[in-house]
Amino acid sequence: MPSAIENRPPTITDGPFVIVGTPPSDGGNTSSTGQPRPEIWSNMRGGLCEALPYYRAYKGSLHTKEVCAIGFLIDKEADPRDVFSAQVVICSAGGGRELDRETGSMVRRADAVDDNTGIRALKAAKEARSVVAIIAGQNNPNYPCHPPHPYSVLDYFQITDIWKEPQAQRNGNVVKVWRIRFEKAELHTSSWWAPRNAKDGDNNALSPSHNSEYLSIEEFSGQSRHCVICWQHSKEIFTVGWMCLNPGCASYFHTHSPITNATASSLAYTEAFLNQRNPLIGPLPKLKPSIPDLDTVGLHGTESDSRCGFVCPDCGCCSRRLFWNRLVCENCSRWWPAPMLPYPQANLQAEAIYIDSLTTKRRITNGVNAGVPESAHDTFACVLNRTCIQPAEGFVFGSYTARQYFLPDATGQVIGSFTLFVSNQNINSRQHGPDDLFRELSVTDIGLKRNPAANVGSKHEGLTRHFQQNFGARYKFGVSVQSKGFDEAPQAVLRALHRLIWASKCAVAATAGRLAGQTVGPNAPPPTSNEFNELLALGFMEKDSINYHDDGETELGPTVAALSLGSPSIMKFRPKLRKSGFGDMLPIGSGPGGKKAFKSVLEVPMKHGDMMVMHGQHIHRIYEHAVEPFGGRRFSMTSRYIDPGKMTLQADKDDAAVKGAIPAHSQEFTYDGN
């Protein structure tokens, strides 16, 4: 399982996730103590990105929609001449900074390019006179007031000017940087971030009488003229006088000769440029989104549009979607139900048809039999490499058709088996079968939640995308997750557990049968296995995937089994690039971020009701697996044996013994394969 780390995990009983140390705030402008009080704020970047439709940029400062800027973060990296006042923000666009070892400061090494998607999106917003929401990070050195939160939403701004200017870097170089002037869109409301002693006009709301003090763009008091060389229009924005600001023009900044550090450092904006004010065009969109309307016609609760975070209507905290079926404010703990509707049967059918055609297509174009008549293919999976995956053995287990693949190491020795149990309509529609289990899990709260998986406890904390709840012995992947005992597990979980116990017995016996009489290596899958004492329930909403990982934690038994319910997915296997020893025997592709990796060797569709069993501990040394999602709602009930003998703490051993004991009352759920 990919590591998913939990620091102080919330459970259904201990209530919602509360971030310690954040003063509660209830929106508005300034508190009774005079503290600035933004209407919308967040302790975490993840909260912003999940709750605000106009800021979904986990990295970088700009968020765009259809190549138009809609959200912008101004945080710790600031440049000379940056402005952060009540109505005007001037800053640079585009990162491009790197650490300069000599000065220890972040510097830019090269001029910003003339055209990239970010600049295009900012220019598009300027042209369209559309608004951009600005969020201020607490480390911005120009914050005009004491930053009330790690991230605070300022307001909507329009972009009035975009130009490129020379900036002196701390290492002595001068580079040209794109600069953006944002102006608050609604000038008649006060700005919560304005310093309390701000002068009227400059820093706070314009009263109607003040309006006359500000010039419209036509009344811009500085020079504003066309360049005689490129014929493009530039405003006089620097006190040194007018110059052409078109970076492509021969007379850009007057000259082609290098601009010195001293010239760049002495530049200053004109009063006229800073003080211009532009009329707002069109009504402003809502800055504070309402709690998602889960009754919205046509939404059933797990589609991308309905699984977002939210802004707490009470305290303004941007909260992430932590729980499967409720929204809990990460600051004030207020919560709202987010009930799931049953998943439409028609969606499931369409998704199953799609996954079949996709697997067929991949088999024909990429599979080992590409170009060979389809009748010769293994129609259960897409086998991509015969060096690894030899033809499967077919079985019938109970009412399931099954296929078993052996996974070898680089010397060709079998180290494990992967068995797919293909379900069917008969199995799925039986009472307490996969249809019933899927329905039950969809609408019951079994405690599914997302757990911190990266940068735990920091403002850059990342959560697992999918939702989890562990039952039985505690499965520690990375850092521990909480577990509920099997004695408090809902019926659906216990029924799934018994199905997996049955499937693993079939798969292990079949593996042993096939290997009997063969010479096997020391890493061959063992002929028997331990009965599961753990079940990890996973809930996937639309597009939730699991990246490549292994289930190779040392305390795990040799067998891992999973029951798939709802929307289909494709489970993929590939040998690990360095640890597998396959060297140049297999083709290499590139994974996310261009990282080299072996191409997958086996891709198996897992559809509603299907089960899989991986048997053999060494699989996880040599191979990794991933789950590619298709469709809108899936559960995977995965079971393992966690060996108390390999736990170091006596408390963990005792906990595993109690929680992992399969309750006697569940024996009536024992499964026979039908």
Ligand X SMILES: O=C(O)CCC(=O)C(=O)O
Count of positions on this chain that bind Fe ion (CB under 5 A) = 2
Q: Please choose, out of 71-79, 215-223, 545-553, 587-595, the segment that lies near Fe ion by the rule CB under 5 A.
A: 545-553
Q: Please choose, out of 132-140, 364-372, 467-475, 546-554, the segment that lies near Fe ion by the rule CB under 5 A.
A: 546-554
Minimum Å gap between C-beta 597 and ligand X is 17
Minimum Å gap between C-beta 466 and ligand X is 8
601 binds, among Fe ion, ligand X, none (CB under 5 to 8 A by kind): none
Minimum Å gap between C-beta 546 and Fe ion is 7
H or E element, residue 627 = strand 623-629
Minimum Å gap between C-beta 395 and ligand X is 20
β-bridge pairing 151-168 and 131-137: antiparallel
User: Can you spell out the DSSP letters for 444-474?
Assistant: S----B--EEESTTSTT-EE-SSEEEEEES-
329 binds, among ligand X, Fe ion, none (CB under 5 to 8 A by kind): none
Q: Which is nearer to ligand X, 31 or 547 (CB)?
A: 547
> Can you tell me which residue has the tokens 């019933």?
436
Minimum Å gap between C-beta 534 and ligand X is 11
How far is Cα 33 from Cα 219, in angstroms, rounded to an integer?
A: 41
b vs e for 39-62, b when ≥16 Cβ sit within 10 Å of the residue's Cβ?
Answer: bbbbbbbbbbbbbbebbbbeeebb
Residue number closest to ligand X, CB atom: 636
Minimum Å gap between C-beta 566 and ligand X is 11
Q: Which is nearer to ligand X, 37 or 640 (CB)?
A: 640
Q: Which is nearer to ligand X, 180 or 538 (CB)?
A: 538
C-alpha 225, offset from chain centre: 47
Give the contact letters, 503-542, x = binds to Fe ion (CB under 5 A), - = no: ----------------------------------------
Residue 52 carries which side chain, given as an amino acid letter?
A: L
Q: Rg of the Cα trace of the chain?
A: 30
627 binds, among Fe ion, ligand X, none (CB under 5 to 8 A by kind): ligand X
How far is Cα 29 from Cα 33, in angstroms, rounded to an integer?
A: 11
Q: Which is nearer to ligand X, 183 or 550 (CB)?
A: 550
Coil, helix or strand at residue 665: helix
511 binds, among ligand X, Fe ion, none (CB under 5 to 8 A by kind): none
How far is Cα 361 from Cα 365, in angstroms, rounded to an integer?
A: 6
636 binds, among Fe ion, ligand X, none (CB under 5 to 8 A by kind): ligand X
Among 165, 551, 610, 624, binds Fe ion (CB under 5 A): 551
Q: Please choose, out of 159-167, 168-176, 203-211, 548-556, the segment that lies near Fe ion by the rule CB under 5 A.
A: 548-556
Minimum Å gap between C-beta 569 and ligand X is 6
610 binds, among ligand X, Fe ion, none (CB under 5 to 8 A by kind): none
Minimum Å gap between C-beta 1 and Fe ion is 5
Give the residue from 258, 132, 227, 114 showing the smallest Cα distance to 177. 114
What burial class does residue 108 get, using C-beta atoms within 10 Å of its C-beta: 0-12 exposed, 13-18 middle, 19+ buried? buried
Q: Which is nearer to Fe ion, 1 or 489 (CB)?
A: 1
H or E element, residue 562 = strand 556-566
C-alpha 82, offset from chain centre: 31
Q: Which is nearer to ligand X, 9 or 247 (CB)?
A: 9
Minimum Å gap between C-beta 127 and ligand X is 45
Q: Which is nearer to ligand X, 187 or 437 (CB)?
A: 437
Coil, helix or strand at residue 417: strand
233 annotated binding-site participant: no
Residue 674 carries which side chain, given as an amino acid letter?
A: N
Minimum Å gap between C-beta 562 and ligand X is 4
Q: Please choose, out of 157-165, 500-508, 544-552, 601-609, the segment that lies near Fe ion by the rule CB under 5 A.
A: 544-552
Q: Which is nearer to ligand X, 176 or 625 (CB)?
A: 625
Q: Which is nearer to Fe ion, 185 or 536 (CB)?
A: 536
For the chain, the 3-state helix, strand and coil shares in percent, each to the nearest 5, are 20, 30, 50
389 binds, among Fe ion, ligand X, none (CB under 5 to 8 A by kind): none
Give the largest CA-CA distance in the chain.
96
562 binds, among ligand X, Fe ion, none (CB under 5 to 8 A by kind): ligand X
How far is Cα 654 from Cα 651, in angstroms, rounded to an integer?
A: 5
Q: In this structure, which long-range contacts are made by residues 410-414, counting pairs with CB atoms below 8 Å and at least 24 apart in sequence?
A: 410/575, 410/580, 410/581, 410/582, 410/583, 410/585, 410/622, 411/521, 411/581, 413/520, 413/521, 413/523, 413/524, 414/515, 414/520, 414/521, 414/524, 414/525, 414/616
Q: Which is nearer to ligand X, 524 or 536 (CB)?
A: 536
Give the residue from 519, 510, 513, 520 showing the smallest Cα distance to 415. 520
Pair of tokens at residue 187: 């000038």
Give the residue from 317, 535, 451 showing the smallest Cα distance to 10. 451
423 binds, among Fe ion, ligand X, none (CB under 5 to 8 A by kind): none
Minimum Å gap between C-beta 571 and ligand X is 6
Q: Please choose, out of 1-9, 15-23, 341-349, 522-530, the segment that lies near Fe ion by the rule CB under 5 A.
A: 1-9
Measure the CA angle with vertex 42, ends 37 and 44; round to 5°. 150
What burial class does residue 208 get, using C-beta atoms within 10 Å of its C-beta: 0-12 exposed, 13-18 middle, 19+ buried? exposed
538 binds, among Fe ion, ligand X, none (CB under 5 to 8 A by kind): ligand X
204 binds, among Fe ion, ligand X, none (CB under 5 to 8 A by kind): none
Q: Which is nearer to Fe ion, 321 or 640 (CB)?
A: 640
Q: Which residues contribute to the site for ligand X (CB under 6 A)?
A: 1, 536, 538, 546, 551, 562, 564, 606, 625, 627, 636, 638
Minimum Å gap between C-beta 405 and ligand X is 16
C-alpha 466, offset from chain centre: 10
CA distances (Å), origin 414, targets 315, 514, 619, 653: 58, 11, 9, 32
Residue number closest to Fe ion, CB atom: 551
Q: Which is nearer to ligand X, 486 or 540 (CB)?
A: 540
85 binds, among ligand X, Fe ion, none (CB under 5 to 8 A by kind): none
Residues at the interface with Fe ion (CB under 5 A): 1, 551
Residues annotated in a binding site:
549
Binding site for 2-oxoglutarate: residue ranges?
Answer: 549
